[in-house]
């Protein structure tokens, strides 16, 4: 008897194991952290900016000195000095005075606004004619406006972007604590499989799931390794599974998990550890399998490429994220279906779609085909109790 779960039950089950797994943190230089997952929250150890800073080239003023100023009736201010780039102001402004400050420079104490160069005229005798009124705070970034000391900024579990790298640099974080990439092993099973570089003889077919899943694991942030192809021989498969499991945090098996005669993967898993579930109430994805190989979480994916990829995205990707401590954030695009999708008969369904502007075209992918999968941008989840979806239905597309 197969122990069949819903996708959500299966997700919760494997995620619980993945979260218990824990991860190692490593310190990585700033130039290499983009795309990695932050292992510890980052807080600011100082205000940013560290001083009141001008956002323009111009004159620092006391805003009240400029109220009512215009080109016809400028305010005349005495130029009290210039703040050189790279130096603190070192002087204060009193009423009726101003100071030249370049973009990024510090405003002298007392100043609370900037007048841009093009709004002022330097006159002989050390005077500046200000031809526009400046409200308090105009063109000024005040100390702490960006970041306040002690404030939590980037949470643990965040996948770092180039913009985050900028913030880390601003905070003086030259090396960031990130989690080690989870090691994921991929094993393809099946007597009929050959290497993509080989020419099929007889009814052999090239193994595409092995390379595809290995690349998908890398995209998901894993340190992925393909352990090769194993025939449907339980002794060979058990040996390969143990050898791979020893070297990884998660083991993926491709193929070999149907309920048919060649169902070696489940028997091997039973022998080497245990089977958590065998079968999902999911279309496609029915022959999905999960268990433990010598204490290493093992997930068996369907042999059909589209099924394998969809179950990878829905079930395995979250596991890889959890093993890195990542807070996974799906990108979801609302769209309208271009055509009806018929009822899915009591199982939740994952339907690949292609986005065309605000519309989503469902791709009915026949079992075993791979090409239509390369046309898909993401997929929709159709609940088990939905009696199909009509053309024009609003759906949420989960992007690949």
Shortest Å, Cβ 274 to a second copy: 25
* 8 Å CB contact between 159 and 221: yes
Q: How far is the CB of 263 from a second copy (least distance, A)?
A: 9
Site for a second copy in 16-35 (CB under 8 A): 30-31, 33-35
Reported as half-sphere exposure (CB side, CA atoms, 13 A), residue 42 has a value of 25
Give the one residue of 5, 10, 38, 168 binding a second copy; rule: CB under 8 A.
168
Task: By CB under 8 A, tell whether 143 contacts a second copy.
Answer: no
Q: Lay out the site mask for a second copy across 263-302 (x = CB under 8 A, - = otherwise).
A: ----------------------------------------
Q: Minimal distance in Å, beta carbon 374 to a second copy?
A: 5
Residues 239-258 touching a second copy, rule: CB under 8 A, are 258
Considering Cα of 290, then 294, then 297, then 299, what sign does the dihedral take? negative
When binding is defined by CB under 8 A, the residue of 152, 196, 388, 392 that contacts a second copy is: 196
Q: For residue 393, state whether it binds a second copy (rule: CB under 8 A).
A: no
Q: CA–CA distance from 179 to each of 159, 245, 293 (Å)?
A: 10, 20, 24
164 interacts with a second copy by CB under 8 A: yes
Strands 348-356 and 332-337: unpaired
Report how far residue 383's alpha carbon sits from residue 387's, in angstroms, rounded to the nearest whole number: 9
Q: How far is the CB of 170 from a second copy (least distance, A)?
A: 4
- Could you tell me the smallest distance in angstroms from the CB atom of residue 62 to a second copy? 20
Radius of gyration of the chain (CA): 31
User: Shortest gap between Cβ of 378 and a second copy (angstroms)?
Assistant: 10
Taking the complex as a whole, how short is the minimal distance between the CB of residue 115 and a second copy, in angstroms? 13
Q: In DSSP terms, which residues pair with 193 in a beta bridge?
A: 205
Chain-centre distance for alpha carbon 347: 29
Helix (H, G, I), strand (E, B) or coil at 53: strand
In the 8-state DSSP scheme, what is residue 107? P
Q: What is the 3-state secondary structure (H, E, C) of 169-216?
A: HHHCCCEEEEECCCEEEEEEECCCEECCCCCCCCCCEECCHHHHHHHH
User: Using CB under 8 A, which of 181, 183, 238, 304 touches a second copy?
Assistant: 304
Stretch of 11-19, 53-61, 67-75, 288-296 lying at the interface with a second copy (CB under 8 A)? 53-61
Q: Which of residues 172-191 bind a second copy (CB under 8 A)?
A: 172-174, 190-191
| Element counts in the chain: helices (H) and strands (E) | 8, 26
Q: Does 367 bind a second copy (CB under 8 A)?
A: yes
Pick from 9, 55, 67, 71 the residue near a second copy by CB under 8 A: 55
Q: Is 213 an interacting residue with respect to a second copy (CB under 8 A)?
A: yes
Minimum distance from CB of 22 to a second copy (Å)?
Answer: 27
Q: Is 78 helix (H, G, I), strand (E, B) or coil?
A: strand
The smaller minimum CB distance to a second copy, of residues 21 and 143, is found at 143
What tokens appear for 354 in the block? 């292609």
In whole angstroms, what is the distance from residue 180 CA to residue 154 CA? 18
């Amino acid at each position: 008897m197969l122990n069949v779960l819903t996708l959500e039950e299966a997700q919760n089950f494997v995620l619980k194991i993945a979260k218990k797994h824990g991860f190692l943190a490593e310190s990585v230089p700033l130039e290499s952290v983009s795309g990695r997952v932050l292992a510890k929250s980052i807080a600011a150890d100082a205000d940013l900016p560290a001083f009141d800073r001008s956002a323009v080239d111009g004159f620092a003023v006391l805003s009240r000195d400029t109220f009512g100023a215009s080109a016809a009736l400028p305010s005349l201010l005495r130029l009290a000095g210039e703040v050189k780039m790279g130096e603190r102001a070192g002087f204060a402004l009193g009423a009726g005075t101003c100071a030249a400050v370049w973009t990024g420079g510090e405003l002298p104490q007392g100043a609370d606004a900037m007048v841009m160069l093009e709004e002022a005229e330097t006159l002989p005798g050390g005077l500046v004619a200000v031809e526009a009124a400046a409200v308090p705070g105009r063109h000024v970034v005040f100390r702490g406006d960006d970041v306040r000391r002690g404030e939590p900024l980037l949470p643990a579990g965040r996948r770092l972007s180039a913009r985050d790298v900028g913030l880390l640099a601003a905070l003086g974080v030259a090396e960031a604590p990130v989690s080690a990439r989870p090691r994921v092993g991929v094993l393809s099973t099946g007597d009929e499989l050959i290497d993509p570089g080989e020419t099929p003889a007889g009814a052999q077919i090239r193994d595409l799931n092995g390379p595809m899943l290995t690349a998908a694991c890398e995209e998901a942030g894993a340190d992925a390794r393909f352990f090769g192809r194993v025939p449907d021989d339980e002794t060979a498969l058990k040996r390969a599974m143990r050898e791979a499991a020893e070297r990884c945090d998660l083991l993926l098996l491709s193929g070999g998990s149907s309920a048919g005669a060649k169902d070696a993967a489940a028997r091997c898993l039973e022998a080497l550890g245990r089977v958590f579930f065998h079968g999902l109430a999911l279309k496609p994805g029915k022959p999905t399998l999960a268990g433990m190989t010598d204490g290493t979480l093992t997930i068996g994916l369907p042999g059909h490429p589209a099924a394998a990829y969809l179950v990878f995205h829905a079930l395995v990707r979250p596991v890889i994220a959890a093993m890195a401590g990542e807070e996974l954030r799906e990108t979801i695009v609302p769209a309208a279906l271009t055509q009806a999708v018929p009822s899915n008969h009591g199982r939740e369904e994952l339907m690949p779609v292609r986005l065309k502007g605000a519309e989503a075209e469902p791709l009915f992918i026949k079992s075993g085909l791979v090409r239509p999968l390369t046309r898909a941008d993401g997929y929709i989840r159709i609940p088990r109790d939905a009696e199909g979806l009509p053309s024009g239905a609003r759906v949420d597309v989960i992007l690949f």
